[in-house]
């Protein structure tokens, strides 16, 4: 029988694996961009695929036990779904990709700040704060490749900061609700409300993808990966991870995201890792280890 400590380690390893998958979605999304799909269409299609999949294994009751809990589900669909993904994706078109990558990785730090401010049970240790700062420094080195020139673009950077703030709120809300409902039920609600709340965006950015475009093999494969693996499977497992090891600890693993993105880009997009990227990756690993020791 596995001990409690071993079980806890397994949850940490699962968190790392999920973040590794999310780090690779940069490549899938870039392929879909190059195939003619808009950010709105990519989000909508990946969540439709995920919702169809989860419907078959989800409890059949439609609503939460209370209206208060249902409202939390709506907020989860917005902060972890529609607003988060749209803010992040549209920010790429308004500001530098480096800015987006770096600012989004402030989500764990924002989670800590919001948790300390609004959740009485959450206390921040010096190791958590120090580890977060070390990891964030590593993220900056990896993303900016040693050239610390932050080109500001107010609207794009503000959208990215909104995405980061959304994920911080999502993490804390998830911690609040994750012990009251099954991970599958919560994730189904997130996908549903994510899809519902994103529909008005089509009034401003109409659908342009054609059937022939969607039926090409590379589009189908990349959408299936985003919908089945990165959304359906990873969102269910991430809900479990937050319930088991907490919002603070799980959020800190998001600092690892740039490492998997850089490695995947090197493999699939022929973007080689530089020496400075190895240094930054090492700092990220040290920071995460210090935070989550």
Q: What is the DSSP string of the chain?
A: ---HHHHHHHHHHHHHHHHHHHHHHHHHHHHHHHTT--HHHHHHHHHHHHHHHHHTTS-S--S-SSHHHHHHHHHHHIIIIIHHHHHHHHHHHHS-HHHHHHHHTTHHHHHHHHHHHH-TT----HHHHHHHHHHHHHHHHHHHTT-------HHHHHHHHHHHHHHHHHHHHHHHHTTTS-HHHHHHHHHHHHHHHHGGGGGTS-----HHHHTSHHHHHHHHIIIIIIIIIHHHHHHHHHHHH-HHHHHHGGGGHHHHHHHHHHHHS--PPPHHHHHHHHHHHHHHHHHT-
pLDDT at 23: 77
**Six token digits for residue 217:** 């093999």
pLDDT at 31: 84
Q: Are 284 and 142 in contact (CB under 8 A)?
A: yes
pLDDT at 269: 60
pLDDT at 115: 80
DSSP state, residue 63? S
73 vs 63: CA distance, rounded Å = 10
Question: Residue 121, exposed/middle/buried by CB under 10 A (0-12, 13-18, 19+)?
Answer: exposed
pLDDT at 64: 92
pLDDT at 220: 95
pLDDT at 157: 73
Q: Are 104 and 214 in contact (CB under 8 A)?
A: no
Q: What is the pLDDT of residues 170-179, one digit of tens each?
A: 989 998 898 8
- pTM for the structure as a whole: 0.81
Select from 84, 49, 81 the least CA-distant residue to 214: 49
pLDDT at 161: 81
Q: What is the pLDDT of residues 148-160, one digit of tens each?
A: 444 556 677 788 7
**Six token digits for residue 257:** 């995201």
Domain count, the chain: 1
pLDDT at 8: 80
What residues have CB less than 8 Å from 61, skipping those under 6 apart? Answer: 185
pLDDT at 192: 96
97 vs 146: CA distance, rounded Å = 15
* Predicted confidence pLDDT, tens digits, the chain (293 residues): 456 666 688 898 999 899 888 877 877 887 888 889 988 999 999 999 999 999 988 877 888 999 999 999 999 999 999 999 888 877 776 766 556 666 677 777 777 778 877 776 666 676 777 777 777 777 677 666 555 444 556 677 788 789 888 998 998 999 889 889 999 999 999 999 999 999 999 998 899 999 999 999 999 999 999 999 999 999 999 999 988 888 778 877 877 776 776 677 666 666 565 667 677 767 767 776 666 56
Which residues span the domain enclosing 169?
A: 4-292
């Amino acid at each position: 029988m596995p001990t409690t400590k071993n079980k806890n380690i397994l949850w940490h390893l699962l968190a790392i694996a999920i973040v590794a998958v999310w780090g690779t979605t940069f490549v899938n999304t870039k392929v879909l961009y190059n195939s003619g799909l808009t950010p709105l269409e990519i989000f909508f299609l990946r969540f439709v695929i995920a919702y169809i999949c989860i419907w078959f294994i989800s409890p059949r009751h439609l609503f939460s036990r209370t209206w208060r809990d249902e409202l939390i589900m709506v907020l989860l669909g917005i902060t972890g779904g529609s607003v988060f993904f749209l803010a992040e994706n549209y920010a790429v078109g308004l500001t530098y990709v480096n800015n987006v990558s770096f600012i989004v990785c402030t989500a764990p730090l924002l989670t800590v700040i919001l948790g300390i401010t609004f959740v009485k049970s959450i206390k921040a240790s010096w190791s958590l704060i120090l580890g977060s700062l070390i990891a964030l420094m590593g993220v900056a080195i990896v993303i900016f490749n040693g050239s610390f020139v932050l080109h500001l673009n107010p609207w794009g950077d503000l959208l990215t900061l909104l995405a980061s703030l959304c994920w911080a709120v999502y993490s804390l809300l998830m911690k609040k609700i994750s012990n009251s409902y099954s991970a599958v039920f919560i994730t189904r609600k997130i996908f549903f409300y994510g899809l519902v709340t994103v529909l008005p965006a089509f009034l401003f950015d109409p659908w342009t993808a054609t059937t022939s475009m969607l039926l090409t093999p590379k589009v189908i494969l990349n959408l299936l990966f985003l919908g089945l693996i990165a959304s359906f499977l990873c969102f269910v497992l991430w809900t479990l991870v937050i319930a088991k090891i907490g919002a603070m600890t799980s959020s800190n693993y998001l600092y690892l995201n740039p490492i998997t993105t850089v490695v995947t880009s090197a493999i699939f997009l022929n973007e080689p890792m530089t020496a400075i990227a190895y240094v930054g990756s090492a700092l990220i690993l040290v920071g995460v280890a210090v935070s989550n020791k």
